[in-house]
Amino acid sequence: MVRCGGFARLILPDMLHIHDTLTRQKMPLRTAEPGVVRMYVCGMTVYDFCHLGHARMLVGFDVVQRWLRASGYRVRYVRNITDIDDKIIRRAVERGVTIRALTGFFIDAMHADERALGVQPPDDEPRATEHVAGMLDIIRTLESKGLAYQGADGDVNFPVRKFPGYGKLSGKSLDDLRAGERVAVSSGKQDPLDFVLWKSAKPDEPADTRWDSPYGPGRPGWHIECSAMSHALLGMPLDIHGGGPDLKFPHHENEIAQSEGAFGGTLATAWMHCGPMMVDAEKMSKSLGNFRRIRDTLSVDAADDRADYAINPREAEMLRFFLVRSHYRSAQNYAPDNLLDAQHALDRLYQTLASVPPEAIDLDWNDPAAQAFRAAMDDDFNTAGAVAVLFDLAGQANRDSSARASGLMRALGGILGLLQTDPAIYLKSPTRFLAGGARADTLSSDAIEALIAERAQAKAARDFARADAIRAQLREQGVELADAAGGATQWRRV
């Protein structure tokens, strides 16, 4: 064992299994270089604030890279930013701002969401606009192989039917396939299924949306961006390529065609896709208008004209816990009651940490609970099973007053990005996600402390009726008191 971030790190070759979207089977993790994982995940198109569906992807792959590192792998995690796109151009024109100003603001807002959710930054975060030259190099290579042509409208397209195996990721035949939602069928295409590699500049588009190229001024198509960025930073094959559920087709299917068509070989050894966030049986998305933004769920003072915001630590960790306790590939349902249940469940773990202060331990992977946690995570990152281990340890800690069980629960929780806040700070933080809902008359911490001090004075004066009245008043305000030995009084919000 070696030490890693405060816990013991294991070297476990070939024990971790991943469900591969391409083969539709679980397979042992195989890497091109022993002990090294090169992981590329398709990130955000930055034209608006992130919603809970985006949070699912951000947290899901954050847990993946955390477990890979905890397992002893050296990880290079790349997650790109799409900062040139039709939606970005439309939004910038609507607001009368430059592309750079618009994308810069929403990149900052995305980073604020990541900090709130405890998402660690990727090792590299390339922006599409930084890799246009590499995109043009790939397009020229494809053209030399007969896999790119320029249409009468100036766009450069990829001829899908000339790439054997197209559709292998999505499992669709060519006759079943349709142009992707971002691909506008144009008269310049030889086949409606062909997708654009380079878009010819339109006269009414802003000047900062075009680059010079051998094909005339224009900008890259969406799909070529990731082929260029992943190849420049990680090469081929990628050990893991991941993204949201809606990227299998057309985006990832087209990446395979571009990258393998240009360079040969295999783009990725394993493909991972997280499940969708659902609302009333519909996928959460901006296009359907059924989305809830991350910042609205866990912020204290978020405003649409500011990227950053203050974070409520209790609500923020609740949202991460809500996401982590479901398997990353499952469909997850957003509903207010589900957030209330997640808050209640996470509170129980923190109440254990408060009642049974955790022992500082060196995590022993031979411990039965640690082995159960490891077995769950090695089984396609089964966080639901791993979270169940945390609750088993909480039960043991409460039943036996075991500081070691409490400490093990906290150490394992840290691998998932959970249970690292001081329990006193966590339990004293207000939350809108309790059974009683938001309260207009929620007491501040200072007001609670003042009432506790008044209660102590009443008890000293043997005015027990007043002391009991203060306790009842605080209970009505959702504050629970616990009188400790020596006269000290602890409190928490419930």
d(CA 216, CA 229): 22
Q: Which amino acid is located at 395 in the chain?
A: G
Q: How many residues does the chain have?
A: 494
Q: Is 4 annotated as ligand-binding? A: no
Q: What is the 3-state secondary structure (H, E, C) of the chain?
A: CEEECCEEECCCCCCCEEEECCCCEEEECCCCCCCEEEEEECCCECCCCCEHHHHHHHHHHHHHHHHHHHCCCEEEEEECEECCCHHHHHHHHHHCCCHHHHHHHHHHHHHHHHHHHCCCCCCECCEHHHCHHHHHHHHHHHHHCCCCEECCCCCEEECHHHCCCCCCCCCCCCCCCCCCCCCCCCCCCCCCCCEEEEEECCCCCCHHHCECCCCCCEEECHHHHHHHHHHHHHCCCEEEEEECHHHHHHHHHHHHHHHHHHHCCCCEEEEEECCCEEECCEECCCCCCCCCEHHHHHECCCCCCCCCCCECHHHHHHHHHHHHCCCCCCCEECCHHHHHHHHHHHHHHHHHHHHCCCCCCCCCCCCHHHHHHHHHHHECCCHHHHHHHHHHHHHHHHHHCCHHHHHHHHHHHHHCCCCCCCHHHHHHCCCCCCCCCCCCCCCCHHHHHHHHHHHHHHHHCCCHHHHHHHHHHHHHCCEEEEECHHHCEEEEEC
Paired tokens of 420: 């690292």
Count CA atoms within 13 Å of residue 378 on its CB side: 17
Q: Is 226 annotated as ligand-binding? A: yes
Q: Is 286 annotated as ligand-binding? A: yes
Q: Is 251 annotated as ligand-binding? A: yes
238-243 and 2-4 as β-strands: parallel, antiparallel, unpaired?
Answer: unpaired
Q: Is 231 annotated as ligand-binding? A: no
Angle at 329 (CA atoms; ends 47, 386), nearest 5 degrees: 115
Q: What are the binding residues for ATP?
A: 286
Q: What are the binding residues?
A: 42, 226, 251, 255, 286
Q: What are the binding residues for Zn(2+)?
A: 42, 226, 251, 255
